[in-house]
Structure 1
Amino acid sequence: MLYRRFGRTGLAMPVFSCGGMRYQHKWQDTPLDQIPSDNQENLEATIRRSLEVGINHIETARGYGSSELQLGQILPKLPRDQIIVQTKVSPTADPRDFEQKLEQSLAYLNLDYIDLLGLHGINTPELLGYSLRSGGCLDVARRFQAWGRVRFVGFSTHGPTEVIVRAIASDQFDYVNLHWYYINQVNWPAIEAAHRHDMGVFIISPSDKGGMLYSPPPRLVELCHPLSPMVFNNLFCLSHPQVHTLSIGAARPSDFDEHLKTLELLDRADEVLPPILHQLEQGAIAALGEDWYKTWDVGLPNHQDVPNQVNIRSILWLRNLAIAFGLTEFAKTRYNMLGGASHWFPGNKADEVQSLDLRDCLRHSPHADQIPRLLAETHELLGGAAVKRLSQS
């Protein structure tokens, strides 16, 4: 395993982390005696395999249902000074609620302290305000830090780049969990900001949110050759030294195997990546047209400034992925979350776009004339039954 300094925390962070949102029994709190023994055995085997290959960072959240409780049955059995444990708790308007949930997390994990606490889902200015205001959730976290129950405090986010940069600029956090990978690089300015503030940078779900790469379409497999799409995406992310660790949402011990193939390539990333990046770019240009490929997102409005809050940018992005790389199933899953995922994936679908006047909100786009048609076509291509986030299931 390779390790990188996790920003100002000084922790030696493995370049892969063991994320705890896929091996748990349920997305709801569940009494321990109702958790099937085979599920708990699989979780413990997954954690032990993680440590065996050098992945000693174990990450979970209060919002991951039974994950914390189940981890609390195995973590106390492990050498405490050899593991890095992180959980996340969502900020709330009433800091007493946040404190209660944090106490519950620590009780479930069954440890004297955790290494990393993340304020979970700082996705909006309002949630950032709940965190930073005097007497708010960050002050609660600082009390736990003073008591020795939390070592370092960071935040996780699915929010827009400008909110992430504002949170980083506060200089109140030691690290950030955020989304950034080949198919979605918009948060690079946030990573640069985190680097300037010497914060740890943890990439959320690069194989799942990065295109459901555990089940890649043939078109993407072809364009990523000779690497698998998963290994390519890992290498792309880790070739940037500002990135410290990638989450592996392992559901079973064998889920680490493909990721580990990345390690032997890191020293040769400058040689291995350019031909694949060229293949991907040329494939996208051939499918989408060069002008669209290079300028599709110029001048697009925030969903809040669009009639019916249609998330134009996300919809066109998903269209591009489906057409250029064959990521249709991924695009369908994400598209059908629109309208039901609140601030985790905001805005609405394009099902009513033909009745909307988008001329004003698209006035800065060079493709204003064709975007309404493309939105309608994308709804035909991707529309279907509403999809819930995993934590809503």
Structure 2
Amino acid sequence: MHYRRFGRTELPMPVFSCGGMRYQHAWKDLPAADIPAANQRNVETIIERSLAVGITHIETARFYGTSEVQLGSILPHLPRQQLIVQTKVEPTANPRQFVETVERSLSLLNLDYVDLLGIHGINTPDHLHWSLRAGGCVEAALKLRDQGKIRFLGFSTHAPTSVIEQAIASGQFDYVNLHWYYIFQDNWPAILAAQQQDMGVFIISPSNKGGELYNPPDKLVQLCAPVSPLVFNDLFCLSHPQIHTLSIGAAQPTDFDEHLKTLPLLAQAAGLLPPILERLEAAAIAALGEDWYRTWHQGLPSPAETPGNLNIPAMLWLRNLMLAFDLVDFAKSRYNLFENGGHWFPGARADNLANLDLSACLARSPHRAILPQILAETHDRLQGSPVKRLSQGG
């Protein structure tokens, strides 16, 4: 395993982390006695495999269903000083509720302290205010730190980059969990801001949210040769020293195997990546046209600025991925999450597009004349049954 200094925490962070979002038995709280033995054993073998390959960072969250209680049956039997344990708790307007939830997490994990506590989902200005205001969640968390119940404080986020940068600029956080990978690079300014603050940088779900790379389309496999799309994406992320660890949301012990192929290639990244990146860009330009490829994102409104709350930037992003790389299943799953994703994936589908006047909100786009038709075609291709977030049981 390779390790990187996790910013000012000084923790030796493995470049892969064991994420706890996909191995749990259920997405609701259950007592340990109600966990099927086979599922609990699967979690145990995942943790055993993680530690055997040097992945010492185990990451979960209060609202990952039975994840914490299942880990709580395992962690007390492991060498605590060799582990980096992280859990996450959502921000609330009532800091007392936040503290009670942290205490609940510690109880379920069967630990006296966690190394990393993340404020889970600073996704909106309100979440940021609840966290940073006098007497808010950050102040409450720092008191927990003084009590020895947490070592370092960070936050996770699906927010617009501007909100992430505000959180980082506060100077209150030791690390950040955020999205950044080949198909989504918008948050690079936030990563650079985190580097300036000497914060740890943890990349959320690069294989799943990065294009469902455990099951990639043939076109993407060919474009990424001689490595798999998953290994390419790992190399792409880890070739940037500002990034310290990538989450592996393992559902079974073998889910680490493909990622581990990345490690001996890290020293070769400077030679391996450029031809793959050139092929990916060429394929995107061939599918989309160079003018669209370079300018599609310019002048687009946010969902809050758009009639019907349409998330036009995300719709067009998904369309681009579908056409350029055949990421059809990924695009459909994300598109049909609209309206069910809440502040984690904001916006609405374009079911009512024919009744919306988008002329004002599209006025700044160089493609304003053709965008209504493109949006209609995108909706026709991607619409399907509504999808829920995993934490909603879907």
Q: With structure 2 as the length reference, what TM-score do the two structures score?
A: 0.99
3-state SS, counterpart of residue 359 of structure 2: coil
Q: Does 1:112 align with 2:112?
A: yes
For residues 106-135 of structure 1, what are the alpha-carbon distances to aligned partners after superposition, in whole Å with 9 as ceiling and x for unaligned?
000111111000000000000000001111
Q: Residues 350-389 of structure 1 correspond to what in structure 2 (within 5 A)?
A: 350-389=350-389
For residues 268-309 of structure 1, what are the alpha-carbon distances to aligned partners after superposition, in whole Å with 9 as ceiling and x for unaligned?
111000000000000011111111011100111111101111
User: 2:164 maps to what in 1?
Assistant: 164
Q: Residues 49-60 of structure 1 correspond to what in structure 2 (within 5 A)?
A: 49-60=49-60
Paired with 2:379 and 2:75, the residues of 1 have a C-alpha distance of: 46
User: 2:223 maps to what in 1?
Assistant: 223
Paired with 1:111 and 1:306, the residues of 2 have a C-alpha distance of: 46
Q: Does 1:192 align with 2:192?
A: yes
3-state SS, counterpart of residue 118 of structure 2: strand
Paired with 1:252 and 1:312, the residues of 2 have a C-alpha distance of: 36
Q: Residues 297-376 of structure 1 correspond to what in structure 2 (within 5 A)?
A: 297-376=297-376
**Number of residues of Structure 1 aligned to a counterpart in Structure 2:** 393
Shift of the alpha carbon at 1:355?
Answer: 1.6
Paired with 1:169 and 1:361, the residues of 2 have a C-alpha distance of: 30
Q: Residues 1-393 of structure 1 correspond to what in structure 2 (within 5 A)?
A: 1-393=1-393
Paired with 2:263 and 2:341, the residues of 1 have a C-alpha distance of: 35
One-letter code aligned to 2:272? V
- Which residues of structure 1 form unaligned runs of 5+? none
One-letter code aligned to 2:370? Q
Paired with 1:325 and 1:354, the residues of 2 have a C-alpha distance of: 28
One-letter code aligned to 1:302? S
3-state SS, counterpart of residue 85 of structure 1: strand
3-state SS, counterpart of residue 300 of structure 1: coil
Deviates more, 1:347-356 or 1:184-193: 347-356
Paired with 2:366 and 2:236, the residues of 1 have a C-alpha distance of: 30
Shift of the alpha carbon at 1:333?
Answer: 0.4
3-state SS, counterpart of residue 62 of structure 2: coil
One-letter code aligned to 1:38? A
3-state SS, counterpart of residue 247 of structure 1: strand
Shift of the alpha carbon at 1:368?
Answer: 0.4
3-state SS, counterpart of residue 153 of structure 1: strand
3-state SS, counterpart of residue 202 of structure 1: strand
Identity of aligned residues (%): 65
For residues 197-217 of structure 1, what are the alpha-carbon distances to aligned partners after superposition, in whole Å with 9 as ceiling and x for unaligned?
000000000000000000101
3-state SS, counterpart of residue 323 of structure 2: helix
One-letter code aligned to 2:350? A
Paired with 1:28 and 1:262, the residues of 2 have a C-alpha distance of: 34
Q: With structure 1 as the length reference, what TM-score do the two structures score?
A: 0.99
Shift of the alpha carbon at 1:97?
Answer: 1.2
For residues 71-110 of structure 1, what are the alpha-carbon distances to aligned partners after superposition, in whole Å with 9 as ceiling and x for unaligned?
0110111101101000000001111111111110000011
Paired with 1:182 and 1:269, the residues of 2 have a C-alpha distance of: 14
For residues 37-78 of structure 1, what are the alpha-carbon distances to aligned partners after superposition, in whole Å with 9 as ceiling and x for unaligned?
010001001001000000000000001000000001101111
Supply the RMSD in Å over aligned alpha carbons: 0.6
- Which residues of structure 2 form unaligned runs of 5+? none
